[in-house]
Structures are given as structure tokens and as C-alpha cells.
Structure 1
């Protein structure tokens, strides 16, 4: 692990357990359209690739006509905006982990595939926004994770080199983006990762809690 200048942190499944929000908003949307509902496990296996992918996958899962997408999108957006953060919770150890990173003088950014209009108020509501210099959603750049472009652009905004900017995430999207961007990677084990065990993905460390990062970094740096 090289000396770090910055840390770039994912949101859903890394900082905050937002499955409850997704389940409620999607089911209200489906109910509006007269469609059957979905369960928490389906969302856990599907979330992470952006809201459009989630909604299209949901419509396909319940056997809906793809032509309903535009109507479903409007309803989903309205429902999610109304309940954003009400059925979510910050994971144990997250605030302590972010506080430690901040205390080390690292510049912090949150980089998520969630739309920026949802990500910013959610972090505010959960008391985490103050840790981050930048908050970028999946609509902030031309492409989203697992493409490396958002990581490169975030590094530029933070004034950090990719090789000295730690990516912290919970899924293969984060892993692929970090590898392609040249960023060191830490993965948390409690997130979603499309129903797969994240420990199967190569990373500098796999953490059960974000506040374990200080100890692991000291170990890795020989401190």
C-alpha cells in the first residue's frame, strides 16, 4: 500500500444499508402499475449497477412489458424521493472508520452509482455528508462504475494520484473500477455484491467493519 492521499468510498452496501428504501420504493411503484411485488433478496442480488438497471431488472423479474419503463421510472423516482433514508441505516463502524480516515488528513469523496439527487440528501440525513469533500452519483459523469472514468475524475477533483487513492466498496463494480483505474482496493464483506461472496474478489483487504481499516493499514505499512 503506497502512502495515501485520498479515499473514495462507495455508498449503498458500504456506508449505508439502503435495501429497505429500495424495496419500499420499488414495491410502491409496482403497486401503482398493478404489478406483483418483489422481495428483499431480489433487490440485494440486483442493486449496485444504477437505478435504470435496477428498475429494468425489476420489471423483467415480475414479467412486465418493457414499454412500461417510462411510467415506472417516474413513479419510482417519486416514491424513492419521498422515503429516501427512512428505511436505511448506517452500518456499524462506518462513522468511526470515516472519522479515522479524516483524522489522517486524507481527502475523502463518496462515489456511488445512486443518482446524485438521492445520494446527497441521504448522506445529509444520516450525518455522513460532512466527511466528504465531494459527493458524486451515477449521473455525475458520462459513465458509471465499473468503468474507471468516475474514479479518475474523482481523483482529479481531489488532486490525488489514482495509485494513492484508496477505493472502498462492497462489490465487483467497485473492484473492477479500482483495478482499471489503478487504485488500491479495500472491500467490505457485509454489502450486496449481486448475491456473491465478495471475499472471492482480489483486494488489498476484506473488512467486516470499516473501523477495522486503521488496524489493517498499520499492519500493511509495518507500523
Structure 2
């Protein structure tokens, strides 16, 4: 292993609390029952559209009013992107270990670039992250391997020598489609329709927490 790539939300960074805060406030503003925090958490990896749909289930996702609410959600999030957000507990120790071993780490995410860059800057991770690939950088996003190949190219490292870690089936599929060893972050924002048998995702490894993730990566270094 010569490099490590992470999905962003739910894998590298625990962003759910800020999404929960904003979505629940949107519920209060609309005057409807507040969506449970755990329900919101399971939708984080599905993106802004899925989270806003929890508040406005009656609107089609291409409805102009829905798009306005989605943009409002993104604006609110961008303005206060790291109020309750931080690296998962123990993740900084893992990153320091990689950096000490001079193994570059980066991010391949479906999160828009402006939000990804703002988040990394807020957490002082910009200069530590060796590569950041976002949807705007490719024609096909995960689970297509295109963003994985782009990250590998930017690192000048063969894909099969890069480990990819994610908390969604599309992350594991993207890694496998690029011939990268994959690790399922079972501590992350697993979708509600995720199989109870996580081995069905066919990841090479399953990490139940960041500490076990660290041990898996150490075994591959």
C-alpha cells in the first residue's frame, strides 16, 4: 500500500450533527414534526436532495420550490459548515501515522467541491490532504471508477496500490471497479437499505470503528 483514499462524510469526517441541526430547523420553520436525528444520519451519504426530501416529501425533486429549499439548505450548511463537525474520534492519530510513514492520503467524494474545500479549510486539513476529487472533476461519479483513476493519476500511484475507504455501497463498488483494495467503514452513515450482512458489500475489509480501521491500515503498510 502506497496511499489511502477516503470518502468524506461518514468515513473521514463526522458531519452528521451539522446536517441534523439544519434539517431539524427546516422542520420547525415549516411547522412539521421534527425528523429524528438517526433518520437524517442515514441519509447523509445520499446527499442534500435526500436530506431535504425528508422535510418536503410532497415535492418532486425537480420542482422549482424543492430546488429553492435545497439551495437554502446548502447555503445554511456552507455558512456554518463545522459547528459540530470534526474528524471521527481517533482519525487524526491515523492520519498522523500515515504522514509519519510518508504515505499520502486523500479524498474522493460526491460532495460538491466548494463545500468540500470549505470543510477541509475549517478543519485545517487542506494542506494535509494530498488529493481531493469531487464531482465537478469528472464526467462520471462513484460508483464509476473514473474519480478513483483520477485520484490515482494525481498521486502518480497505481490504483491497486491505493486503499479506498467508504461507508456506502457505491464507495466499495467504485474502489473495486478501479482494482483498489477496499475497506467498509461500518461506523459511518450506512444507508437504511444496507444489508444486515455487511459482507454482502464485498469489501476486502470491514472496520467497525476507527481504531480497527487504523489496525487494518497498519497491517497493509
How far is the alpha carbon of 1:35 from its aligned partner? 5.8
* CA separation of 1:140 and 1:219: change in aligned 2, threshold 3 A: closer
Per-residue displacement from partner, 1:44-75 (whole Å, max 9, x unpaired)?
A: 222213334443x4355x32354222211221
1:65 and 1:204 map into 2 onto residues whose CA distance is: 38
Q: Aligned residue for 1:17?
A: 14
Is contact 2:132-2:151 (8 Å) kept?
A: no
Equivalent runs, 1:64-213 vs 2, <5 Å: 64=59, 66=61, 67=63, 68-195=65-192, 196=194, 197=196, 199-200=198-199, 201-213=201-213
Deviation of 1:161 (Å): 0.9
Structure 1 stretch displaced more, 77-86 or 123-132: 123-132
Q: Is the 8 A contact 1:167 1:178 kept in 2?
A: yes
Say if 2:45 is the partner of 1:58. Answer: no
The number of aligned residues is 216
RMSD: 2.5
Q: Does 1:40 align with 2:37?
A: yes
| CA offsets 1:141-174 (integer angstroms, 9 cap, x no match) | 2222222111111111111111111101222121
TM-score under structure 2 normalisation? Answer: 0.84
Determine if contact 1:93/1:209 at 8 Å carries over to the other structure. no
1:9 offset after TM fit, Å? 0.9
Q: Which runs of 5+ in 1 are unaligned?
A: none
- Structure 2, gaps ≥5 residues long: none
